[in-house]
Amino acid sequence: MATKLLDVQDVLPPPIPAPAGVRRRSHLAQLESEAIFIMREVAAQFERPVLLFSGGKDSIVLVRLARKAFWPGKSPFPLLHVDTGHNFPEVIEFRDRLAAEVGADLVVRRVQDSIDRGRVVEETGPHASRNAMQTVTLLDALAELRADAAMGGARRDEEKARAKERVFSHRDRFGQWDPRNQRPELWSLYNGRKAPGEHFRVFPISNWTEMDVWQYIAAERIPLPSLYFAHRREVVDRGGVLYARSPWVPLLPGERYEEREVRFRTVGDATCTGAVESSAATLDEIIREIAGTRLTERGATRADDQRSEAAMEDRKRHGYF
Protein backbone atom coordinates (compact mmCIF):
# COMPACT_ATOMS: atom_id res chain seq x y z
CA MET A 1 0.00 0.00 0.00
CA ALA A 2 1.36 3.40 -0.96
CA THR A 3 1.71 6.30 1.42
CA LYS A 4 -1.46 7.78 2.76
CA LEU A 5 -2.92 10.44 0.53
CA LEU A 6 -3.55 13.96 1.67
CA ASP A 7 -5.41 13.74 4.92
CA VAL A 8 -8.43 15.95 5.21
CA GLN A 9 -9.65 14.47 8.47
CA ASP A 10 -8.80 17.49 10.56
CA VAL A 11 -10.18 20.14 8.24
CA LEU A 12 -13.70 18.79 8.09
CA PRO A 13 -16.63 18.27 10.39
CA PRO A 14 -17.91 14.68 10.41
CA PRO A 15 -20.46 13.98 7.68
CA ILE A 16 -24.03 14.56 8.69
CA PRO A 17 -25.84 11.24 8.86
CA ALA A 18 -29.18 11.03 7.05
CA PRO A 19 -31.87 11.34 9.72
CA ALA A 20 -33.31 7.97 10.70
CA GLY A 21 -36.69 7.16 9.22
CA VAL A 22 -36.39 9.69 6.42
CA ARG A 23 -37.29 7.86 3.29
CA ARG A 24 -36.34 10.51 0.85
CA ARG A 25 -32.60 10.66 0.62
CA SER A 26 -30.53 13.82 0.50
CA HIS A 27 -29.63 15.19 -2.89
CA LEU A 28 -26.08 13.86 -2.61
CA ALA A 29 -27.30 10.38 -1.73
CA GLN A 30 -29.66 10.47 -4.70
CA LEU A 31 -26.91 11.60 -7.04
CA GLU A 32 -24.55 8.96 -5.70
CA SER A 33 -27.12 6.19 -6.16
CA GLU A 34 -27.73 7.32 -9.70
CA ALA A 35 -24.02 7.39 -10.54
CA ILE A 36 -23.49 3.93 -9.07
CA PHE A 37 -26.46 2.63 -11.04
CA ILE A 38 -24.96 4.04 -14.24
CA MET A 39 -21.54 2.52 -13.55
CA ARG A 40 -23.06 -0.89 -12.97
CA GLU A 41 -24.92 -0.56 -16.26
CA VAL A 42 -21.61 0.19 -17.95
CA ALA A 43 -19.97 -2.87 -16.42
CA ALA A 44 -22.91 -5.04 -17.47
CA GLN A 45 -23.56 -3.68 -20.95
CA PHE A 46 -20.01 -3.31 -22.25
CA GLU A 47 -17.13 -5.68 -22.71
CA ARG A 48 -14.08 -3.45 -22.27
CA PRO A 49 -15.08 -0.24 -20.53
CA VAL A 50 -12.41 2.18 -19.31
CA LEU A 51 -12.48 5.12 -16.94
CA LEU A 52 -10.90 8.28 -18.33
CA PHE A 53 -8.72 9.63 -15.59
CA SER A 54 -7.37 13.15 -15.77
CA GLY A 55 -6.15 13.59 -12.23
CA GLY A 56 -8.80 16.25 -11.72
CA LYS A 57 -11.39 16.23 -8.98
CA ASP A 58 -14.22 14.98 -11.19
CA SER A 59 -12.34 11.90 -12.27
CA ILE A 60 -11.14 11.34 -8.71
CA VAL A 61 -14.80 11.33 -7.69
CA LEU A 62 -15.47 8.80 -10.44
CA VAL A 63 -12.79 6.52 -9.04
CA ARG A 64 -14.43 6.74 -5.64
CA LEU A 65 -17.86 6.00 -7.08
CA ALA A 66 -16.50 3.02 -9.02
CA ARG A 67 -15.01 1.65 -5.86
CA LYS A 68 -18.33 1.98 -4.09
CA ALA A 69 -20.35 0.56 -6.97
CA PHE A 70 -18.54 -2.77 -6.99
CA TRP A 71 -17.64 -3.06 -3.34
CA PRO A 72 -16.61 -5.44 -1.84
CA GLY A 73 -15.33 -6.44 -5.28
CA LYS A 74 -12.81 -4.41 -7.23
CA SER A 75 -13.86 -1.86 -9.81
CA PRO A 76 -13.64 -3.57 -13.22
CA PHE A 77 -12.51 -0.39 -15.01
CA PRO A 78 -8.88 0.27 -15.95
CA LEU A 79 -7.90 3.95 -15.69
CA LEU A 80 -6.87 5.60 -18.95
CA HIS A 81 -4.91 8.82 -18.73
CA VAL A 82 -4.15 10.86 -21.82
CA ASP A 83 -1.05 12.76 -20.82
CA THR A 84 -0.38 15.96 -22.74
CA GLY A 85 3.10 16.06 -21.29
CA HIS A 86 2.20 19.42 -19.83
CA ASN A 87 0.76 18.17 -16.60
CA PHE A 88 1.62 19.43 -13.17
CA PRO A 89 4.01 16.99 -11.45
CA GLU A 90 1.77 16.95 -8.36
CA VAL A 91 -1.06 15.58 -10.45
CA ILE A 92 1.01 12.82 -12.01
CA GLU A 93 2.29 11.78 -8.63
CA PHE A 94 -1.21 11.77 -7.21
CA ARG A 95 -2.47 9.72 -10.15
CA ASP A 96 0.13 7.00 -9.65
CA ARG A 97 -0.51 6.74 -5.94
CA LEU A 98 -4.29 6.64 -6.32
CA ALA A 99 -4.12 3.92 -8.99
CA ALA A 100 -1.86 1.86 -6.74
CA GLU A 101 -4.09 2.39 -3.74
CA VAL A 102 -7.29 1.23 -5.43
CA GLY A 103 -5.44 -1.51 -7.30
CA ALA A 104 -6.60 -0.33 -10.71
CA ASP A 105 -4.73 -0.90 -13.95
CA LEU A 106 -3.38 2.44 -15.10
CA VAL A 107 -2.86 2.97 -18.81
CA VAL A 108 -1.05 6.17 -19.80
CA ARG A 109 -0.93 7.29 -23.41
CA ARG A 110 1.09 10.34 -24.35
CA VAL A 111 0.30 13.10 -26.80
CA GLN A 112 4.07 13.29 -27.35
CA ASP A 113 3.99 9.79 -28.85
CA SER A 114 1.22 10.85 -31.23
CA ILE A 115 3.34 13.82 -32.27
CA ASP A 116 6.42 11.65 -32.73
CA ARG A 117 4.50 9.20 -34.82
CA GLY A 118 3.21 12.03 -36.98
CA ARG A 119 -0.42 11.50 -36.00
CA VAL A 120 -0.75 15.17 -35.07
CA VAL A 121 1.16 18.36 -35.68
CA GLU A 122 2.07 20.44 -32.70
CA GLU A 123 0.67 23.96 -32.45
CA THR A 124 3.21 26.75 -32.15
CA GLY A 125 3.14 30.29 -30.78
CA PRO A 126 2.48 31.75 -27.34
CA HIS A 127 -1.01 30.28 -27.06
CA ALA A 128 0.07 26.83 -28.24
CA SER A 129 -1.84 24.11 -26.49
CA ARG A 130 -1.93 20.37 -26.76
CA ASN A 131 -5.52 20.31 -25.64
CA ALA A 132 -7.03 19.71 -29.06
CA MET A 133 -4.44 17.06 -29.88
CA GLN A 134 -5.54 14.94 -26.96
CA THR A 135 -8.47 13.85 -29.06
CA VAL A 136 -6.26 11.94 -31.49
CA THR A 137 -4.27 10.27 -28.73
CA LEU A 138 -7.48 9.39 -26.94
CA LEU A 139 -9.14 7.85 -29.97
CA ASP A 140 -5.95 5.92 -30.79
CA ALA A 141 -5.79 4.64 -27.23
CA LEU A 142 -9.45 3.57 -27.24
CA ALA A 143 -8.88 1.72 -30.50
CA GLU A 144 -5.72 0.07 -29.17
CA LEU A 145 -7.47 -1.08 -26.00
CA ARG A 146 -10.54 -1.99 -28.05
CA ALA A 147 -12.50 -0.07 -25.45
CA ASP A 148 -16.22 0.00 -26.16
CA ALA A 149 -17.10 2.50 -23.44
CA ALA A 150 -15.13 5.35 -21.93
CA MET A 151 -16.44 6.96 -18.76
CA GLY A 152 -15.72 10.57 -18.09
CA GLY A 153 -16.42 13.08 -15.36
CA ALA A 154 -18.11 15.70 -17.54
CA ARG A 155 -21.17 17.41 -16.12
CA ARG A 156 -24.08 19.04 -17.82
CA ASP A 157 -23.81 22.21 -15.80
CA GLU A 158 -20.34 22.92 -17.20
CA GLU A 159 -21.23 24.29 -20.56
CA LYS A 160 -24.19 24.95 -22.84
CA ALA A 161 -23.43 22.19 -25.34
CA ARG A 162 -23.17 19.64 -22.55
CA ALA A 163 -26.66 20.43 -21.25
CA LYS A 164 -28.07 18.20 -23.96
CA GLU A 165 -25.59 15.39 -23.94
CA ARG A 166 -26.87 11.98 -22.95
CA VAL A 167 -25.55 9.93 -20.06
CA PHE A 168 -24.86 7.14 -22.55
CA SER A 169 -23.49 9.13 -25.46
CA HIS A 170 -23.06 7.26 -28.68
CA ARG A 171 -19.94 7.76 -30.85
CA ASP A 172 -19.64 6.59 -34.41
CA ARG A 173 -16.72 4.63 -35.84
CA PHE A 174 -14.68 7.82 -36.04
CA GLY A 175 -15.35 8.71 -32.43
CA GLN A 176 -17.64 11.54 -33.41
CA TRP A 177 -20.70 12.84 -31.59
CA ASP A 178 -23.75 13.83 -33.59
CA PRO A 179 -25.76 16.26 -31.48
CA ARG A 180 -28.66 16.27 -33.93
CA ASN A 181 -29.03 12.56 -33.81
CA GLN A 182 -28.84 11.52 -30.19
CA ARG A 183 -30.81 8.60 -28.88
CA PRO A 184 -33.66 9.58 -26.62
CA GLU A 185 -32.86 8.67 -23.02
CA LEU A 186 -35.84 7.94 -20.80
CA TRP A 187 -36.34 6.94 -17.17
CA SER A 188 -33.20 5.09 -16.21
CA LEU A 189 -33.14 2.85 -19.26
CA TYR A 190 -29.74 3.32 -20.85
CA ASN A 191 -29.36 1.94 -24.34
CA GLY A 192 -25.73 0.88 -24.84
CA ARG A 193 -26.30 -1.21 -27.97
CA LYS A 194 -23.92 -0.47 -30.80
CA ALA A 195 -22.37 -1.76 -33.98
CA PRO A 196 -18.81 -3.12 -34.00
CA GLY A 197 -16.23 -0.34 -34.02
CA GLU A 198 -18.53 2.17 -32.38
CA HIS A 199 -18.19 3.15 -28.77
CA PHE A 200 -19.89 5.07 -26.02
CA ARG A 201 -18.88 7.91 -23.77
CA VAL A 202 -20.62 7.60 -20.46
CA PHE A 203 -21.02 10.40 -17.94
CA PRO A 204 -22.10 9.04 -14.56
CA ILE A 205 -22.07 12.44 -12.88
CA SER A 206 -23.93 14.27 -15.65
CA ASN A 207 -26.48 15.60 -13.18
CA TRP A 208 -23.99 16.89 -10.63
CA THR A 209 -23.07 20.54 -10.34
CA GLU A 210 -19.66 21.83 -9.35
CA MET A 211 -21.05 22.44 -5.88
CA ASP A 212 -22.34 18.88 -5.63
CA VAL A 213 -18.87 17.58 -6.50
CA TRP A 214 -17.24 19.64 -3.80
CA GLN A 215 -19.87 18.75 -1.23
CA TYR A 216 -19.43 15.09 -2.07
CA ILE A 217 -15.65 15.33 -1.78
CA ALA A 218 -16.14 16.94 1.62
CA ALA A 219 -18.75 14.45 2.81
CA GLU A 220 -16.70 11.49 1.62
CA ARG A 221 -13.38 13.00 2.68
CA ILE A 222 -11.86 12.29 -0.68
CA PRO A 223 -8.19 13.26 -0.91
CA LEU A 224 -7.25 15.62 -3.75
CA PRO A 225 -4.02 16.82 -5.32
CA SER A 226 -2.59 19.72 -3.38
CA LEU A 227 -3.07 22.04 -6.39
CA TYR A 228 -6.71 22.43 -5.45
CA PHE A 229 -5.89 24.08 -2.17
CA ALA A 230 -4.49 27.58 -1.76
CA HIS A 231 -0.74 27.75 -1.96
CA ARG A 232 1.89 30.25 -3.03
CA ARG A 233 3.07 29.87 -6.60
CA GLU A 234 4.75 31.83 -9.35
CA VAL A 235 2.21 32.77 -12.00
CA VAL A 236 1.92 35.03 -14.99
CA ASP A 237 -1.24 37.08 -15.46
CA ARG A 238 -2.32 36.76 -19.09
CA GLY A 239 -5.57 38.47 -19.94
CA GLY A 240 -6.95 37.84 -16.47
CA VAL A 241 -6.02 34.15 -16.47
CA LEU A 242 -3.21 33.19 -14.09
CA TYR A 243 -0.86 30.62 -15.62
CA ALA A 244 1.56 28.74 -13.43
CA ARG A 245 5.23 29.05 -14.19
CA SER A 246 6.20 26.09 -16.34
CA PRO A 247 8.53 25.33 -19.23
CA TRP A 248 5.50 25.16 -21.53
CA VAL A 249 4.23 28.66 -20.92
CA PRO A 250 7.01 30.94 -22.20
CA LEU A 251 6.77 34.58 -21.18
CA LEU A 252 5.73 37.11 -23.79
CA PRO A 253 7.48 40.46 -24.06
CA GLY A 254 6.51 42.60 -21.11
CA GLU A 255 5.25 39.71 -18.99
CA ARG A 256 6.78 38.61 -15.73
CA TYR A 257 6.21 36.02 -13.06
CA GLU A 258 4.92 37.03 -9.69
CA GLU A 259 4.22 34.98 -6.62
CA ARG A 260 0.58 34.89 -5.53
CA GLU A 261 -1.64 32.83 -3.28
CA VAL A 262 -3.62 30.74 -5.70
CA ARG A 263 -5.48 27.50 -6.15
CA PHE A 264 -6.73 25.61 -9.20
CA ARG A 265 -10.38 24.89 -9.82
CA THR A 266 -9.59 22.38 -12.56
CA VAL A 267 -6.24 20.74 -13.17
CA GLY A 268 -5.94 20.12 -16.88
CA ASP A 269 -3.05 20.86 -19.20
CA ALA A 270 -0.82 23.56 -17.71
CA THR A 271 -0.87 25.57 -20.94
CA CYS A 272 -4.57 26.20 -20.78
CA THR A 273 -5.52 25.78 -17.13
CA GLY A 274 -5.27 28.90 -15.06
CA ALA A 275 -5.32 29.39 -11.33
CA VAL A 276 -7.48 31.73 -9.30
CA GLU A 277 -6.34 33.88 -6.45
CA SER A 278 -7.62 32.29 -3.31
CA SER A 279 -6.84 31.72 0.30
CA ALA A 280 -9.11 28.67 0.58
CA ALA A 281 -6.88 26.01 2.07
CA THR A 282 -9.48 23.51 3.25
CA LEU A 283 -12.49 21.88 1.62
CA ASP A 284 -14.77 23.84 3.88
CA GLU A 285 -13.22 27.09 2.76
CA ILE A 286 -13.36 26.04 -0.87
CA ILE A 287 -17.06 25.27 -0.59
CA ARG A 288 -17.68 28.65 0.98
CA GLU A 289 -15.66 30.31 -1.73
CA ILE A 290 -17.55 28.54 -4.50
CA ALA A 291 -20.86 29.35 -2.89
CA GLY A 292 -19.96 33.00 -3.17
CA THR A 293 -18.17 32.89 -6.47
CA ARG A 294 -19.41 34.54 -9.60
CA LEU A 295 -17.50 32.60 -12.22
CA THR A 296 -18.11 29.11 -13.51
CA GLU A 297 -15.10 26.89 -13.22
CA ARG A 298 -14.55 26.58 -16.94
CA GLY A 299 -15.06 30.27 -17.57
CA ALA A 300 -12.63 31.21 -14.87
CA THR A 301 -9.75 29.16 -15.97
CA ARG A 302 -10.16 27.40 -19.27
CA ALA A 303 -8.62 29.40 -22.03
CA ASP A 304 -9.72 26.87 -24.64
CA ASP A 305 -13.42 27.64 -24.28
CA GLN A 306 -13.01 31.31 -24.83
CA ARG A 307 -11.85 30.89 -28.37
CA SER A 308 -15.42 31.06 -29.64
CA GLU A 309 -18.94 30.76 -28.37
CA ALA A 310 -19.33 27.39 -30.00
CA ALA A 311 -15.84 26.21 -29.05
CA MET A 312 -16.94 23.34 -26.86
CA GLU A 313 -19.50 22.08 -29.28
CA ASP A 314 -16.96 21.96 -32.08
CA ARG A 315 -14.48 20.01 -30.05
CA LYS A 316 -17.09 17.57 -28.83
CA ARG A 317 -18.21 16.75 -32.32
CA HIS A 318 -14.67 15.63 -33.07
CA GLY A 319 -14.51 13.27 -30.17
CA TYR A 320 -13.21 15.43 -27.33
CA PHE A 321 -13.84 14.26 -23.79
Q: Restricting to residues 236-295, which ones interact with another protein according to CB under 8 A?
A: 284, 287-288, 290-295
Q: Restricting to residues 36-95, which ones interact with another protein according to CB under 8 A?
A: 36-37, 40-41, 43-44, 67-74
Supply the minimum distance, in Å, between the C-beta of residue 132 and another protein: 18
Interface region with another protein, contact rule CB under 8 A, candidates 11-19, 47-55, 142-150, 252-260: 11-19
Among 104, 219, 235, 276, binds another protein (CB under 8 A): 219
Among 148, 210, 269, 304, binds another protein (CB under 8 A): 210
Supply the minimum distance, in Å, between the C-beta of residue 121 and another protein: 26
Q: Restricting to residues 101-140, which ones interact with another protein according to CB under 8 A?
A: none
Supply the minimum distance, in Å, between the C-beta of residue 91 and another protein: 24
Rounded distance, CA 2 to CA 318, Å? 38
With CB under 8 A, what is the number of residues at the site for another protein?
74
Contact 274, 249 (CB under 8 A): no
Helix H or strand E encompassing 225? none
Adjacency order of strands within the sheet including 49-52: 106-110, 79-83, 49-52, 149-151, 199-202, 168-171
Q: What is the dihedral of CA 252, 112, 66, 226, to 10 degrees?
A: -40
Q: Restricting to residues 163-202, which ones interact with another protein according to CB under 8 A?
A: 163-164, 179-180, 182-189, 191, 193-195
Q: Which is nearer to another protein, 156 or 233 (CB)?
A: 156
Among 58, 140, 148, 212, binds another protein (CB under 8 A): 212
Helix H or strand E encompassing 248? none
Contact 60, 283 (CB under 8 A): no
Q: Which is nearer to another protein, 2 or 211 (CB)?
A: 211
Using DSSP, state whether 10 is helix, strand or coil: helix
Among 8, 32, 50, 56, binds another protein (CB under 8 A): 32
DSSP tag of 83: E
- Closest to 75 in 3D by CA, of 94, 108, 110, 101: 101
Strand partners, 182: none
Neighbours of 204 (CB within 10 A): 28
Rounded distance, CA 229 to CA 17, Å? 26
Q: Which is nearer to another protein, 100 or 163 (CB)?
A: 163
Interface region with another protein, contact rule CB under 8 A, candidates 131-139, 141-149, 215-223, 270-278: 215-223
Interface region with another protein, contact rule CB under 8 A, candidates 34-42, 124-132, 133-141, 241-249: 34-42
> Which phi and psi (to 5°) does residue 234 adopt?
-80, 125
Helix H or strand E encompassing 70? helix 57-70
The separation between CA 252 and the C-alpha centre of its own chain, rounded to angstroms, equals: 29
Interface region with another protein, contact rule CB under 8 A, candidates 46-54, 135-143, 154-162, 256-264: 154-162
Category of 252 on φ-ψ map: left (φ > 0), alpha (ψ -120 to 50) or beta: beta
Among 25, 117, 146, 173, binds another protein (CB under 8 A): 25
Interface region with another protein, contact rule CB under 8 A, candidates 22-30, 52-60, 102-110, 129-137: 22-30
Supply the minimum distance, in Å, between the C-beta of residue 290 and another protein: 7
- Closest to 34 in 3D by CA, of 219, 216, 206: 206
Q: Can residue 12 be called a binding residue for another protein (CB under 8 A)?
A: no
Among 83, 157, 269, 304, binds another protein (CB under 8 A): 157
